Amino acid sequence: NRIEIAQRYPWLLQRERRMIIGNDLDALLSAQFLQHTLGWSMAGFYNYSTLYVDPAIDPRECVWVDLDIHDPACGSIGHHILRPTPTDRIPGHRSSVNPNLLRGIDQTDFTHKYPLGTIHFLLWLHDARARNKRACTLLLWLADSTWINAQRYRANVREWLTNWISVPELLDTF
């Protein structure tokens, strides 16, 4: 539910935030969307081994985009499996917005894990539509191998797009 998520994580709708992004197409598309929609600016880049950030900026005050950060002080938006089992508690992720966590999916239910990217979650959350349908749709299918997931895990992708995170550009071309 968009309203519940926005209430639980109000920083998702705040304007003029700084963000640290990951190192793939999904992160770049997500950052571009957040810049265009909310005026967020890029403060750094994380390639999973090195953090490149302006030394004048505290990374803990930034939102980490397309990155699941285990630090309760950091807001992060990601989509990886974070809990090995349903009984695992991960208090460091209490500020993580993650579709798998939101639905209670862990590694034991891997076949139902979120098969899309961060950009898809953001488009759904903000109820946004692509303007240049053809070019944007093609890029959306490339983000985090969504097109490959739709070929290999068709039923799961269909379930997410139909019941949980509707992205019309993907549904129309599914």
Dmax (CA) for the chain in angstroms is 47
Closest CA to 12 of 49, 47, 63: 63
Residues of the chain predicted below pLDDT 50: none
What is the structure's pLDDT at 5? 96
What is the structure's pLDDT at 84? 72
What is the structure's pLDDT at 82? 78
Q: How far is CA 72 from the centre of its chain?
A: 17
